[in-house]
Structure 1
Amino acid sequence: MTPDQCRTARQLLGWSRTRLAANADVKSWAVDRLEGERGPIPPADEKALRATFEAAGIEFMEEIGGELGVRLAGAAQEAPDQVQGGVNKPSSHPTIDEDAI
């Protein structure tokens, strides 16, 4: 999972970094480090983050025209015109917390 995939998945769900860390049962510094591109995080933490996203309906797409991406499950079928930059955006926009960016 790349930092961009993590940020985008979290934003699609409307989760803050703190909420993601709590849902994945990892330390918040791991999310900050991954998204801030400040180096690797423990493999177990990355696995937990990805599993948490997938359980919440995020699909990781390994290559879209040579780029990595994520989407909310079902978004492609419901709103194909919302696809931008390798990410399917849901037709309704989630509320994003201030620290979600």
Structure 2
Amino acid sequence: MITISDATQTDECAEEAVTELFDALSHPHRRAVVDALDDGSCKSLTELARVVSRRERSLSVREASVGLWHCHLPKLCRAGVLRHDEGADVYELDDRHSDILSVEP
């Protein structure tokens, strides 16, 4: 049996998860990464940095790589948006949030 306390805890966990997801998607570089992987492909850090650099013309590929590596990719992985295949050293979308991420504008 689920009690009111259990339901409240579940609601709070769900709210925290949604907040974390929205926070992860709040930066344009992270949204560019999600958009680049939306076709089901896997991409390396360098490939993703090229995507960000093309969108943000003031950034070099190297600068984009540093930002992605140290900040943006880990945040997307922690939020369950991305998976990092360390063996192949590529990133792909995690299907945990596919229902939210697949919404068309």
Q: Which has the higher strand share?
A: 1
- Settle same-fold status: TM greater than 0.5: no
Normalising by structure 2, report the TM-score.
0.32
Larger radius of gyration: 2
Q: Which has the higher helix share?
A: 2
